[in-house]
Structure 1
Amino acid sequence: MRYLLYALTLLLSSSLLFFVQPMVAKMVTPVLGGSPAVWNTCMVFFQALLLAGYAYAHASTGWLGTRRQSLLHLGIMVIGVLFLPIGIEPPADPASLAHPALWLLGALMLGVGWPFFVISTSAPLLQKWFSTTDHPDAADPYHLYAASNIGSFVGLVAYPFVLEPRIGVQTQTILWMIAYIVLIAAVAACALALWRSPQPDSSEPATEPPRAPQPLSWARRGRWMLWAFVPSSMMLAVTSFVTTDIAPVPMLWIPPLAIYLLSFVLVFARAEFFRSIWVFALFPVALLGLATILFIQVSSPLEWVTGAHFAGLLLFSLVFHGLLAADRPSTHHLTGFFLWMSVGGALGGLFNALLAPIIFERLIDYPVILILAALAFPPTLYRHRATRVTLALSVLVAGYFVGRDITIYFGLERSRELATLAALALSLGAPLIVALTRYRVLTPGLLAVPLMLTSYYLAMPDAHELHAERSFFAANQVIETSDGGYHKLYNGTTLHGVQARDKEFSQVPLSYYYLTGPLGQLFEVLSKRPERHPFAVVGLGTGAIASYTRKGQQADFFEIDPAIARIAQDPRYFTYLEECRGECRVILGDGRLQLAQMPDERYELIVLDAYSSTAIPVHLLTLEAVELYLKKLRPDGVLAFHISNRHLDLQPPLTRIAGELGLVVRGRDHWVDANDPVYNLYVDGSDWILLARSEEALAELIDDPDWYDYQPEAKLRVWTDDYANIFDAYLMDE
């Protein structure tokens, strides 16, 4: 019964711990947008508090003993009620956020710091309490850690699939507060069971004095930290890579963390299969498989590629967390074990969220952590026969695909025999020979070599790269085409804009904003009005929309990323803003928050283009957001939403909001055929939704057959600041 009580209490505490993480991340997106850096910084905060909680558990139980410490802990838990319900206070002036990560860490500390710290202590603390009872399993309470991580996994997965689609954020915070109070009662019951259990020293004295526990060596502590560092860092590296280069959807923040937690459940459970040599033997398969995918730059089909990265993360987590589980110490060092494990996890998060954006100009965190993993994997496991077989097969397959890719790169793909020979030569080269000989002790370093080449390949500037810069919000790159005629702006692999370098055509908008496209049509309609008024654009990109200004007309561009603002205003890269015919100004900060400070009825047009990278800031698409835009629009003004997206269809939620507010809706889904002559002029298709108070505001677009009259779906729930379900917009088919 006591075992069940402790297990259920751990399950509840961990559920609350990981339910609050996506909830709080959602609270801060209105200020910092949907960048994966927001989630990674939140993870650093939570890992740091987890470390603080483990340090508290280690120090307090060692100082007070478990029984007296339980009274202290209950008092600390009760104080946590004073900090509920959880809330995040936005900054008074978002434009002043010179260091977004530091502001976010401070806001999280004030908003959720104490309650999260209290709950973070549960895993080591309750296991330590349990280890001092007279229960038969007290000598090895580590299995309770599996129950703890089941709760973590359930809490994390339940949020996007069960709670968020049905319950608003404010209600979520109230439910969390109620569950926290229930947790206090459950922890009190565990403390009562601890006090009722006979103390170990109350029994009859043993015939021989107990042996003093062996002290922990620093080498062993270092191994624990390293083995915890690798999967923690890889979790965030996979998150950044997948949500930037494959499918930039914030919903994909959650699966990597869920996989990370699931691995703890599997390796700390009583079954030993996930700590067996068969799991460790698959390590070379995952290592070289991921390195090959990165080197060849495979990005489709979405489901298979994303699944491959997630599967690799699961195996890496099983391997390194399995090493931790296999090397767990006696209960005397239980809290110390979790403390050093937490130190490694926190350092992994710190590296990815705070250090990597400073050290690396591009997203090469992923191959870097693969190199470290190759070196951190114990050499003795490389020598096992099963590992040698999987290593040989992995080198064979990976070498073939890499070799084939190299031959294609050098234009040799027409010679099928040459391509095959080159691929096989690379497959059967030195790595395989060394791996199968008596020099296999060199295998870790040798495996790191191709990974280093992969990271160099990803970091190596394009022959015509003009600029690369990584900020809190994104990794940006300016590329000059091979003929020198155009400059292109990329965020990861997503194009953000193009400009011709020829002075005669430099003010012709290209990419998604070209003259004969949907946005060009809209500006043509507005140009026929007798009087022009200012317009606003949320999302700067290259500043291409500035080319639509007329002499004397004002245009306000709202941009959350200072790096983008610097790039767009630098004439070495783009001159749309510098050469615009009107008065163009760039306003830093979240578009919605900055628009709220503008005068009412100022704009004839507001363009929402902050999500052309497909990372959706949902707070820009809610009922309250559209109501704010309407206040800033003139009576005949138009809202234009750029909804081009590879994985989300934003038309249904926007149309539903329009129906709720009684607005007129028109949409155009325009794609450029590869055979169209304009295709070679860097013109891209795009999807747009227009909202207006009346049909007159849209003029002839109302009767244009290219513009669809979308009707709202009555069954769809309206997105609000308190409720938004991204599954309403998710596209299963590409």
Structure 2
Amino acid sequence: MSRSARRRLFIATILLGSFLLFLVQPMVARMALPRLGGAPNVWNSAMLVYQALLLGGYAYAHLLGRLALKKQAIVHIVVLGLAALTLPIALAELPPAAPGAEVLWVPLLFLATIGPLFFAVSAQAPLMQRWYAADPQADDPYPLYAASNLGSFAGLIAYPLVAEPLLPIARQSGVWTVGYVALLVLVIFTARALPKAEPSTSETTSASPEQSSEEIGWRRIALWVCLAAVPSGLMLSTTTYLTTDIVAMPLLWVIPLGLYLLSFSIAFAENRGLANGFARHAAALTMVLGSITILLSAQGSVPAALVSVALLFVVAVALHGRLYETRPSPAKLTLFYLVMSAGGVLGGAITALFAPVVFDWTWEHPLLIVAASLLVPLPAYARWSERLGWSASRTRVAMAASFALALLAIAALSRAMVASPQSPLVVQGLLALVVILALLVVRWRPAFAAILALAMLALGGMQSLRTSLAGERTRSYFGVYTVRDIDDAARTLAHGTTLHGVQLRKPGLELQPTTYYGRSSGIGLALGAGDALLGKGANIGIVGLGVGTLACYRKPGQDWTFYEIDPAVLAYSQGGQFTFVEKCTPDARMVIGDARLELEKAPAGTYDLLAIDAFSSDAVPLHLLTDEAFKVYLRSLAPDGLLLVHISNRYIDLVPALDAAARANGLTAIRRHDRGAKPPRTSSMWIAMARDPARLTALQDSNPATWDELERTDHPLWTDDYASILPVLKWEKFL
């Protein structure tokens, strides 16, 4: 086989393996949605499992290198064959997680579902590079890692854009199985392309004796770990932000991970032009984007998301570029990838396991940004004083003066944020001055990082710090909750950046319904009609507790049940921060757990009215809107019962999906869009559904408010096996 043909074979094998590896990640997470819901930490937990399996695969590749080449090939082909026995991919059957145990149960589910296959395929990239380098005529194998990550990026992008919209889950699994068989065939061909004669070194590479005996000290290994850990952790913390405030769906899961993988393709490319460009500007961009990220983070806006994603990409390319520049000889290739993978697992563990337990807010995100500022490559202008011919002592004085001036500028910036937040030019001017002064001391890394940290505090971090110190936040597996008092007028609960509920504090107004649940909202109209609409002694089910606002619609004789997935939310009502439940439904039944699973346990025909209001920040738990979910609701609903679904959302138009669900289940549906709501009420959209159209007629006749017929669409029915959110995105909101 010619040298070029051999290289193409190895590249094809690496590309296909990486493509399959990262196509399966969102696919399995999508499979798990009906059982796990849409919490952002579900994806972070999945990523942690994938990183751990990747580490295991890299360790396996490293240990396998101690064998002769032919034995390596035989063992790896056998491992791939044994893993194939778990095909086709299907979600493992595990008993449901106990409330509060999700942080351990979710990784266990992913491990049981995809563990053997992911482990076997994850070894492909380093192992194929090692086999490639075994030929004495082979060139540098490290650029093949760029091809590996290009395949990974393609797999991630292919899922939301091609696989999810076009194929049901079962078909996706079938296609992946075909790809796996093709990979096994390619591995057999690469094994046949191995050198006939064993290399003389124990490393089985083309490395010289000097390279094989290369000493790699602990400092170098520690640097590799840090350079890998920071982008990995930052990728997951960025994912948390995106999936909390938009929607938990593969399209958004894959953006941070896709850019993270693409950064390797740039950083490890043979052509160093683009990687060097990132390295030159990484320090300045980290300072600017890091500061702006904190400034915009409280807004939950698309610009904030774009800045966060841009920062992740810059940091990832810059730090992975440093990894490439400090790489060892090919003789130590698998050790290098093993250490790099360990760093990735460390960064993932910090974000997915450590941070949610220790921090009450996503403090890991700014801390990782500061850590990145300590690691980014130094730009050429870092030695500006030498170019000016200054002495060392004069340089130290100049840098100390620049640092002091930066502190004064940050103090002025902090005052400007408090005194004149509506003066963007002042803030922008002071921030530009801080950036310039920071770049003057960039080679004094602790000072550079300190300036960035203080700038982030001045631009909004201090408010978050005060909130944390005041004990106003709670962080759970399902998100970050913040309780704030607006003088003596009201108390609010926010999930991420989305308002979850308001209770007025003025005497006589404490039990007034607010936000999305005002008397003119769809749910307010239905519950407010009371016995006239629902009959005496009605049984009411509410999915999603929030601050418990709906409790005060209770009428005498009614039985109420609340379903809430997060014990932290229930604690707000039980601990006295919000008193709707305590004052209005003290005897209501509280069911902790995923509502869809818990409703399956309820007796058939239980509820006269069932309200679905289970938003996670501004995200939508997709598993609560599939056909299977609606069948669960209808089973628990009385024959003449009412089903109400809250679909207010900034980024997604859920009307077509609800229309498809109604048509599929023989339901009549109407919509109440409460546009004219004024504080403390907010605009909302509720869909009311019933088997009997007369029930909706009675709802409309019970109040003068306007209900609209749900417009008919040809939107496909969402099921657990097939659902794509791309067609219902409000694309104009992203512009």
**TM-score normalised to structure 1 length:** 0.90
> What pairs up with 1:73-472 in 2 under 5 angstroms?
73-89=76-92, 91-94=94-97, 96-137=98-139, 140-194=140-194, 196-201=195-200, 210-211=209-210, 212-245=212-245, 251-276=251-276, 278-297=277-296, 302-378=301-377, 383-384=382-383, 406-412=414-420, 428=433, 432-433=436-437, 435-436=439-440, 440=444, 443-450=447-454, 453=457, 456-457=461-462, 459-462=464-467, 467-472=472-477
Asked whether the equivalents of residues 284 and 387 of structure 1 are also in contact (C-alpha less than 8 Å), the reply is no
Amino acid at match of 1:66: L
Aligned residues: 707
Is this contact kept in 2: 1:228–1:321, CA < 8 A?
Answer: yes
Number of the residue aligned with 2:713 = 713
Q: Does 1:696 align with 2:704?
A: no
Q: Secondary structure at the match of 1:461?
A: helix
Write out per-residue CA displacement over residues 88-133 of structure 1, whole angstroms, 9 at most, x where no aligned residue.
Answer: 2354344x24320211111112111111000010011111011112
Mapping of residues 283-682 of structure 1, within 5 Å: 283-297=282-296, 302-378=301-377, 383-384=382-383, 406-412=414-420, 428=433, 432-433=436-437, 435-436=439-440, 440=444, 443-450=447-454, 453=457, 456-457=461-462, 459-462=464-467, 467-483=472-488, 485-502=489-506, 504-529=508-533, 530-571=535-576, 573-581=577-585, 583-611=587-615, 613-672=617-676, 678-679=678-679, 682=680
Query: Residues 554 and 582 of structure 1 are in contact (CA less than 8 Å); yes or no, is this contact kept in structure 2?
Result: no
> What letter corresponds to residue 125 of structure 2 in structure 1?
A
Distance 1:425 1:587, change over 3 A: closer
- Displacement of 1:587 in angstroms is 0.5
What is the CA–CA distance in structure 2 between the aligned matches of 1:353 and 1:388, rounded to whole Å?
Answer: 45
CA deviations 1:252-311 (Å, max 9, x no partner) are 2210000001111112122111332x3212113321222322342356694433222222
CA contact (8 A) 1:9 1:186 kept: yes
Deviations 1:116-167 (A, max 9, x none): 0000100111110111124432xx1111111111110111100001000111
Q: Give the 3 Å change call, closer, same or farther, for CA 683–301 of structure 1 in structure 2.
A: closer
Quick one: distance in 1 between partners of 2:502 and 2:33? 28
Q: What's the offset of the Cα at 1:727?
A: 1.1
Task: Sort the Cα spacing of 1:409 and 1:422 in 2 relative to 1 into closer, same or farther, 3 A.
Answer: closer
Mapped to 1, the partners of 2:730 and 2:334 lie a distance apart of: 46
SS at match of 2:65: helix
Q: CA deviation at 1:526?
A: 4.3
Partner Cα separation in structure 2 for residue 705 and residue 421 of structure 1: 47
TM superposition shift of 1:581? 4.5
CA 480–457 in structure 1, closer or farther in 2 if over 3 Å, else same: same
Give per-residue Cα distances to partners, 1:404-439, cap 9 Å, x unaligned.
86445433469x8xx97787567546x745743798
Distance in 1 (alpha carbons) for counterparts of 2:644 and 2:456: 45
Alignment-mate amino acid for residue 618 of structure 1: L
| Mapped partners of 2:630, 2:374: distance in 1 | 52
| 2:204 aligned partner | none
CA distance in 2, matches of 1:378, 1:657: 53
Which whole-Å deviations, capped at 9, do the CAs of 1:612-669 have from their partners, x for residues lacking one?
6221111111112112211111111111110010000101111111122221110022
CA distance in 1, matches of 2:299, 2:552: 35
SS at match of 2:640: strand
Quick check: 1:134–1:197 contact (8 Å CA) kept in 2?
no
Segment drifting more, 576-585 vs 654-663: 576-585
Who is 1:206 aligned against?
Answer: none
Verify: 1:45 aligned to 2:49, yes or no: yes
CA contact (8 A) 2:294 2:461 kept: no
Separation in 2, partners of 1:629, 1:453: 46
Letter in 1 for 2:324: A
Select which of 46, 61, 73 maps to 1:70: 73
Q: SS at 2:502's partner residue?
A: strand
* 1:399 positional shift: 10
Distance 2:299 2:444 in 1: 35
Kindly indicate whether the alpha-carbon contact (under 8 Å) linking 1:665 and 1:690 is maintained by their aligned counterparts in 2. Answer: yes
Change (3 A) 1:400 1:709: farther
Q: SS at the partner of 1:165?
A: helix
For residues 304 and 228 of structure 2, the distance between their equivalents in structure 1, rounded to whole angstroms, comes to 25
Q: CA deviation at 1:711?
A: 2.8
CA distance in 2, matches of 1:7, 1:144: 7
Query: Following the alignment from structure 2 to structure 1, what is the Cα–Cα distance between the partners of residues 169 and 527?
Result: 38
For 1:230-262, what per-residue CA distance to the aligned partner results, in whole angstroms no more than 9, with x for missing partners? 111111111112333577766322100000011
Does the C-alpha gap of structure 1 residues 246 and 388 become closer, same or farther in structure 2, counting only changes over 3 Å?
Answer: farther
Distance between the aligned counterparts of 1:475 and 1:599, measured in 2? 34
Asked if structure 2 preserves the Cα contact closer than 8 Å seen for 1:606 and 1:639, the reply is: yes
Higher deviation after alignment, 283-292 or 295-304: 295-304
2:532 partner letter: K
Once the two structures are TM-superposed, the CA of residue 350 in structure 1 deviates from its matched residue by 0.4
- Larger deviation: 173-182 or 533-542? 173-182
The CA distance in 2 between the partners of 1:596 and 1:319, in whole Å, is 50
SS at match of 1:513: coil
Distance in 2 separating the partners of 1:381 and 1:230: 23
- Unmatched runs of 5 consecutive residues or more in structure 2: 202-207, 389-398
**Alignment-mate amino acid for residue 475 of structure 2:** R
SS at match of 2:642: strand
SS in 1 for 2:601: coil
- Alpha-carbon spacing, 1:89–1:413, altered in 2? closer, same or farther (3 Å): closer
Partner in structure 2 of residue 13 of structure 1: 17
C-alpha distance in 2 between matches for 1:222 and 1:168: 44
After superposition, the Cα gap between the structure-2 partners of 1:283 and 1:7, relative to the gap in structure 1 and judged at 3 Å, is same
CA distance in 1, matches of 2:618, 2:386: 40
Cα displacement (A) at 1:551: 2.3
Residue 504 of structure 1 deviates from its aligned partner by 2.7
Instruction: Give the whole-Å Cα distance in 2 for the aligned partners of 1:696 and 1:12.
Output: 57
Shift of 1:178: 2.2
With over 3 angstroms needed to count, the CA separation of the structure-2 counterparts of 1:67 and 1:274, relative to structure 1, is farther
State the secondary structure of the residue aligned to 1:226: helix
Equivalent position amino acid for 1:536 in 2: G
State the alpha-carbon separation in 1 of the partners of residues 386 and 290 from structure 2.
18
Counterpart of 2:83, as a letter, is: G
